[in-house]
Amino acid sequence: MSQTKFKPGDIINIIDFAKIYDHPNILIAARFWEDERYNAAKICYKFMRSIDDMIDDYKAGNGSLTSAKKKLFTAKVNDWISSLEKSSSDDPFIKEVIETVTNFKIPLKLFHNFAKSMIYDINNDGFVKYNDFLLYAEGASVAPASLFVHLCCLKKENGEYISPSFDIIEVARPCALFSYLVHIIRDFQKDQLDNLNYFAIDILKKNKLIPSDLKRMANGEPVTGNFRNVIKEYYERAEDYRLKTQEEIKKLTSSIETRYLLSLHIIYNLYLQVFERIDISDGNFTTEELNPSPLEIKNRVIEVIDNIKIH
């Protein structure tokens, strides 16, 4: 699909907003790219998702991993990442990933950073310190976001993709951390019920809380003032990254094509939509309360298109 034929209104009509579950914001935003680039995103995120889901699904069903499972899962992650260093593979999906990484000049560093965080996840249950979370986020959130920015900012000349000349990780980091902090608040109830905790212990401890307090609130006990203070701290940190995200998008405004600029605005706005639902003073931080409906998500995307005057 060429730039002259780009009609976002037509794309809106082919997105099934009710059926996008895995990385919905990323795949909604990437859908406005041409098919080749969109398919590259789907393949890479499916590869990352398969690793992440393996760990989270086990923890959700069983709690902490046994020593044997830790060794097994760590070996699987290392094997998956090592497979990308090869020129080909007998596994059709891995072969497709290798070809995508090669054709789209995707830095392998992004996958290695992601793998480090997955191995951390295998061997740890949550974060002792907030700084541990920031290190983890470099792989778990900044790496996928950097992949998104990389695919947005690729140039194509004579049928070949040219990598961006700037540091995609530095550009992606603010939006990645903004979205991840919002994600943690949004999924508080769901994560707790799945035996997962993404709130750092040092911040809980500062507010006289322990993880079991969070699980009780996730199960319906009244939200305490101390937990509201935790949410407030995460909200304020998210706000700092939100403002930096706006700055980074503004810097890219004149250097990338319309459809890619639109996708950046969409992914930012879909997390902003959740951020705006966070009620520190009176909210209960439930899954139902913090998740927009498919129709609300669709309407927000339409609003973004209208606001930046793309027709």
Distance CA 37, CA 3 (A): 13
For residue 208, the model assigns a pLDDT of 98
Task: Give the pLDDT confidence of 49-83 residue by residue, as tens digits.
Answer: 988 888 888 888 887 889 999 999 999 999 999 99
pLDDT digits (tens, 9 = 90+) for 83-97: 998 888 889 999 999
In the chain, the domains with their CATH numbers are: 3-307 (1.10.600.10)
| Whole-number pLDDT of residue 310 | 52
- The reply to whether the predicted model has a pTM over 0.85 is yes
- Which pLDDT score is estimated for 3? 44
Least confident of 52-56, 173-177, 289-293: 52-56
pLDDT tens, residue by residue, 100-151: 999 999 999 999 999 999 999 999 989 999 999 999 999 999 999 999 999 9
Cα(211)–Cα(217) distance, integer angstroms: 10
Q: What is the pLDDT of residue 311?
A: 41
- Which residues, 6 or more positions from 219, have their beta carbon under 8 angstroms from its beta carbon? 192, 193
| 162 beta partners | 155
Is a pLDDT exceeding 90 seen at residue 189? yes
Q: What is the pLDDT of residue 267?
A: 96
What confidence tens digit (pLDDT) does each residue in 223-282 have?
999 999 999 999 999 999 999 999 999 999 988 999 999 999 999 999 999 999 999 999
**Alpha helices by DSSP H, the chain:** 8-12, 24-30, 35-62, 67-83, 92-103, 108-123, 130-137, 143-153, 168-186, 188-193, 201-206, 211-218, 225-252, 258-275, 287-290, 294-307
Question: Do 228 and 280 contact (CB within 8 A), yes or no?
Answer: yes
Instruction: Inform me whether the pLDDT recorded for 4 exceeds 90.
Output: no
CA–CA gap between residue 196 and residue 169 (Å, rounded): 27
* pLDDT, position 63: 79
Name the band, by pLDDT with cuts 50, 70 and 90, for residue 5: low
Find residue 160's DSSP bridge partners: 157
Judge whether 48 and 118 are in contact, CB under 8 Å. Answer: no
The answer to whether residue 1 scores a pLDDT higher than 60 is no
- Cβ(11)–Cβ(297) under 8 Å? no
